[in-house]
A and B are shown apart, each in its own frame.
Chain A
Amino acid sequence: MLVLASAALSALPALAQVQTPDPTVLMTQARQFFEALDYEHAVSALDQAIVVLEGRPLQDPVHRSLPVAYEMRARSQYGLGKEAEARADFVSLLKVDPVYTLTGQVTPKVVAIFDEVMKATVTTLRLAVTPPTAEVRVDGVIVPATTSMPIAIGEHTIAAKQVGYRAVTQAASVVSGQVAEVAIALERVSSVLAVVTSPAGVQVIIDGVSHGKTEAGPPPPDYAERAARAGVPASELSQLMLIAEMQPGAHVVEFKADCHVSTQRRLTVDKPDDYTFDPIKLEPAIATVNIKTAQTGAAVYVDGKQRGLAPMTLPDVCEGEHVVEVRSGSGRYFRRMAVHTGDKVEMDAKLKPAFALVSASGQATGLNTDLRATIERAFEGLQSVTLFAPPADQLDQVLKAQQLTPAWLAFDASKRALAQSADLGAATRRDLTGRIAKAFDAQGVASVTVPSALDRSRIVVSLLAAGSGDPDIVEVTIDHPETFAAAVAQVDRAPSFFRPSLGVSAIDVRDVAGAVVIGVDANGPAAKAGVAPGDVIVKANAQPIADAVALNALLASRKGDEALTLELKDRTGAPKRADVTVAMAPRLVGLYDQTLLVNRMLLDLRNRLQTPGSPNEDSVLRLNLGAALARIENWSEARTELQRVKLPDGPGVSNGTVQYLLGLCADKLGSRADADAAFTAAAASDALISEDGPSVKDLVEARRSGRLR
């Protein structure tokens, strides 16, 4: 084993050429040689180890092995009969560590040599530095300001410094057999303010100038008592922060930290001195926000950071302005709010489909701020949808990733695409609205455009459902607040998808009092009650019916299953009576109506279908959703929705209507055979495309004759 170790040691120089040997390894090997009494190899290993250790900085823990290395080499030298070399190593040892004591079993002779060397090499240093809080270093090692300590004879450097005092560095020559006395009095040059805060991280501002933040503690031990006096747990205290160069005079010292109540102290510096405040405690400045919602499990965000799932209570919302959002796949609750310390805010978060304002172009009269923010505020009263402006930096990032400019979705009031929007094309726009809406967890996107430099008070707001390339347009005029109210009302105007019906067609005829029945739905309530074409409805629930307009007005206020007693005259003029029950007939809106905000309606329908209703109700909503999707030319999704619609055959909006729409989808998707089959089914029905007609039969006929595309 020793042979092996020797062989390994012989390889060391070669190794040293490429890298510094590990002193720990060298020390281990040296100790093995030393304990095996192989002093020659021990000295050789320690020579190398000492060279390496002497090169290490004082702060390096490995450096602490140097006195041990000297001791081991001194004893090995002694073992080899080299007493002078042994003494020299003990001198070196004591210069490094004047209080060193030998370790292990040592022969009396070696102890005697060591004591003799110590007597000649080590003496005492008596040090007295004022102020006592000064930092004092002897040869770079921190020592107490007032101390009596062993020190090797020779030249030493003593340094002392303290904030507010001029630093001193001086040499000390220590002579064998004499006690070295060193006294240093630091000269005060400025006043110093000492601050400890609870919590740490508090910004200290003196006379309006920030001096940085306090750092995490602990502070000096003497602050414990002060902390107790101030009622602050010591564990919450910061480190001591010293602020030098305090000028004579009165000062205002402010303490500020996020989410805490700011405080301030007054300080008068009348002479150069140390000034200290008791620990400064900042009270938390927080409000409690309690969020309730019908959509349990929706994610709650504060300032863009997710905080949990609704319903939840946020006990620690810092005082100030925040954006609170509750998001789900189908909608979002969005609220900008300012909270104050101690507020208890109750939020009933009604999630609404959301349009993210992701494009702005043009400069509006009198508005230097972000147009998107202006529009967000102007439309915050919306009841049916949410219009929100994502943070500008996030928007920039998303648009850059798609190589888009802020004007990428600009439209004028005539729906004409402007700027980059005009270069994109509808198909690309459809793709982008889908992707960008998704990036912001929104159901749609919106833009705000000032389309004309000649009239910069007119602003166009465009709304697009995710995947739509054709916008809904709402126009407002900056200096006409009523236009904003009208725009909000326009967006909130929700079509109804059902209408009260008796299953009759009635007309007005001059010289005939009452509503003249010209058609009766064979399966409708009126037919069941015996109403026939040619009858004239003259009263309903004893109220005179002047004409068909009056009958419809009366019906409009009725609910499904409500009973009505009709008084009629038949063709011969004979009176008759019919007890009918009001039915709710489906409506199809938005397939053609250019004045309807179809993108908004699409979001609304998707949202409503998240909560299942009756099969009939769901079918009617889905029919309208399919129509809205067809309007934005999303034919594939439109077909999927329409295939789930189950409506009975019959007049009005019914299965024939669905078949016609399925035919349109199949045609657009290139399925000619499917389209023909669906159109044939539609043409065989009495269905209307909407309650106001025309009949799908006519539409199919027009389509087949090439008059309609």
Chain B
Amino acid sequence: MKSSFHVRVAVLLVAGTAVVGAQGNTEEFARRQFDSGMTFMQSGRYTEALKDFQTILDSFGKSSVADNALLQTALYQLEIARDTGAAQTSVDRLLKDYPDTDSAPMAHIVAGRIALAKGRAPADVDAALASFERVPRLFPNDEAVPAAGFYAADALRIVRRTDEALERFRRVSMEYPRAAWAARARLGAALCLVASDRAPRALDELQRVRQQLPESAEANDALNYNTILYRLYVRPPAQPAYGFAARYPGTEGTKLKDIVGVQFDQSGQMLLGHKLGVSVFDPRGKLARTIAVEEPSSFFVDERGRVITVRKDRLTIERGETTPLTVPQPDGKQRPVEEIPSAVAMASGARLIADHKGKQVIKVSESGAFVGKFVGVDAERLALNRLDDVAMIDKETKSIVVVDREGKPLSKIPQKGAGYEFDNPIDLKFDAFNHIYVLDRGRASIFVFGPRNKLLTTVTIPDKSPGAFPRAEAFALDAAGRIYVFDDRAQTIQVYQ
């Protein structure tokens, strides 16, 4: 009894101390939970990160990191889960419950990005711009102001209001010259200058990025961009834009055959599609892995960075999950898409599939469900740029058709134009500036077209000279605009720079 009494007193004392301690450390605990969430987020363990953020919102809603937790949740929903509805709910809650916190300016920016992710109709763009413009008005000296300026400019660029975008990008770089956003704004300004046929002016703009933030990712982009512009606008006409440099080290010594495609992913790895699958080479040219697939007809890298192979009527995700593709017929039956010469993934996750049998390009969801006919072109190859514009080789007309993300025609490069005539175009690519590169097997050339589809340069290596590609099958561009051509006669990949 006595001992029992002592135990109870001790328990009460400990409990009392714990209550006082918890009250005193609520803020500290919330901060630790937030740090934990951020660590999970940075290592890609999103579920655990979201648990931490949700705990803060449920239990420490009045702590100083509650708004940050909500912001991180919204960013996850927008950027990773691509769930604009959930992201909108989080941002609305943040702006309602924490309107004057340090997360509020960024929440307005996220709100703008959500509006833009929902669509690019004038109303969506206006809503996005309004959100971005609230930041300097409500928080005039906040460090989010240049970010808001950048996103507003980029929204205008995306919807092709290029001159307005250029002014906004310039405002960011002039008003906040030392911010990281200034570097991004200069990259954006360079894209606008090239898009509006003022490429030489972009050179200085890009060099300033390298000057200001030499070690940054933006400086690396600027170097790549300037390299592209230098080749296309400075070298010619006094010098050829491209010259044969070397054979691709990763494939040297091997005789390549039956290549179905070459491309680079975002991290600079080269992917080579062949009859046994897709081989992935790291940026130094070393074979990193091979994704085994029997006789794929094509492959692409999706919005999540996964390699998707195409075989007959189905798409196969890297680790084996396959999705059959069918097209509904007027009689209600489903027709398998049997021949797929090319496919690409849009930023939204939708896939565009060249349906050779149907002489069309169809749009399917990430899960493979038919969404609709995208465009009525019998496309040999598809290429996608960062705006989700799609360029395709029209097999019938031997021309290049460019449409926007909704399938609306933007432009066309006819079979014959000033300084060129396509004979057998077999592959095409966009570079970072949306120049279109067309590989013509018949001409053993690559034609490069500028923003108004004007021929900028032709890459041709005289036959029997080193680097000639008389029987080219496919090609890729890396971030710096180097060209990697697979030629069936050389049976290797040759590099031009």
Contact = CB atoms under 8 A, between A and B. Distances in A.
Nearest to B138: A414
A502 interface: no
Contacts of B167: 702, 707-708
B175 A534 contact: no
B497 interface: yes
Interface stretch (A12-20, A62-70, A151-159, A689-697): A689-697
Of A473, A693, A702, most B-chain CB atoms within 10 Å: A693
Contacts of A690: 174
Contact of A593 (B140, B176, B203, B214): B176
Contacts of A414: 139-142
B245 A511 contact: yes
Contacts of B174: 591-593, 689-690, 692, 694
Given A505-B203, A510-B480, A549-B211, A518 B141 contact: no
A588 to B, nearest CB: 11
Interface string A112-132: 000000000000000000000
B243 to A, nearest CB: 10
B179 A595 contact: yes
How many of chain A's residues touch chain B, expressed as a range? Answer: 35 or more
B207 A473 contact: no
Contacts of A473: 141
Q: Is the interface of B mostly helix, strand, loop or mixed?
A: helix
B155 to A, nearest CB: 15
B178 A595 contact: yes
A690 B227 CA distance: 25
Contacts of A708: 167
Contacts of B223: 508-510
Contacts of B451: none
A516 interface: yes
A477 B370 CA distance: 59
Interface string B463-497: 00000000000000000101000000000000001
B239 interface: yes
Given A508-B207, A595-B178, A416 B164 contact: no
Interface string A574-601: 0000000000000000011111000000
A507 B200 CA distance: 11
Nearest to B171: A592
A551 B139 CA distance: 39
How many of chain B's residues touch chain A, expressed as a range? Answer: 35 or more
B130 interface: no
A413 interface: yes
B164 A707 contact: yes
Contact of A707 (B163, B177, B204, B224): B163
Nearest to B204: A505
Interface string B148-177: 000000000000000110010011011111
A485 B179 CA distance: 21
Interface string B296-315: 00000000000000000000
B208 interface: yes
B206 interface: yes
Interface string B204-245: 111110110010000000011011001000100011000001
A571 interface: yes
A507 B234 CA distance: 11
A534 B237 CA distance: 11
Contacts of A505: 203-204, 207
A32 interface: no
A397 B370 CA distance: 79
Contacts of A107: none
B175 A702 contact: no
A20 to B, nearest CB: 80
A591 B206 CA distance: 21
Interface in A493-551: 505-512, 516, 518-519, 533-534, 547-549
Contact of A548 (B175, B207, B245, B497): B207
Contact of A511 (B163, B201, B211, B497): B497
Interface in B222-271: 223-224, 226-227, 230, 234, 238-239, 245
Given A507-B226, A518-B203, A593-B177, A571 B208 contact: no
A534 B234 contact: yes
Nearest to B243: A511
Contacts of A548: 207, 210-211
A705 interface: yes
Contacts of B179: 595
Given A534-B234, A593-B174, A510 B211 contact: no
A552 B206 CA distance: 15
Contacts of B203: 505, 507, 518
A693 B211 contact: no
Given A508-B207, A510-B480, A693-B205, A415 B140 contact: yes
B226 A509 contact: yes
Nearest to A707: B167
A291 B84 CA distance: 70
Nearest to B146: A594
Of B140, B141, B224, most A-chain CB atoms within 10 Å: B141
Nearest to B497: A511
Contact of A705 (B163, B170, B230): B163
B64 to A, nearest CB: 9
Interface in B410-440: none
Nearest to B480: A510
Given A511-B245, A595-B177, A516 B230 contact: yes
Contacts of A591: 174
A269 to B, nearest CB: 63
Nearest to A596: B177
Contacts of B200: 518
B234 A516 contact: yes
B175 A594 contact: yes
A549 B208 contact: no
Interface in A8-41: none
A547 B230 CA distance: 14
A592 B205 contact: no
B214 A549 contact: yes
Contacts of B230: 507, 509, 512, 516, 518
A612 B226 CA distance: 43
Contacts of A694: 170, 174
B459 to A, nearest CB: 15
Contacts of B173: 692
Interface string B178-208: 1100000000000000000000110111111
Given A413-B141, A516-B234, A571-B239, A593 B175 contact: yes
Contacts of A534: 234, 238-239
A535 to B, nearest CB: 11
Interface string A145-173: 00000000000000000000000000000
A415 B142 CA distance: 9
Contacts of B164: 707
Interface in B51-78: none
Nearest to A691: B208
Interface in A245-293: none
Contacts of A416: 140-141
Contacts of B206: 507
Nearest to B224: A510
Of B145, B227, B239, most A-chain CB atoms within 10 Å: B227
3 closest Cβ contacts across the A-B interface?
A592-B174, A414-B141, A510-B227
22 contacts: A413-B141, A415-B140, A416-B140, A416-B141, A506-B207, A510-B480, A511-B497, A516-B230, A518-B230, A534-B234, A534-B239, A548-B210, A549-B210, A571-B238, A592-B175, A594-B175, A595-B175, A689-B174, A692-B174, A693-B170, A693-B205, A707-B164
Interface of A: 413-416, 473, 505-512, 516, 518-519, 533-534, 547-549, 552, 571, 591-595, 689-690, 692-695, 698, 702, 705, 707-708
Given A534-B239, A595-B177, 11 more contacts: A414-B139, A415-B140, A416-B140, A507-B203, A508-B226, A509-B226, A511-B480, A518-B203, A533-B234, A692-B173, A693-B205
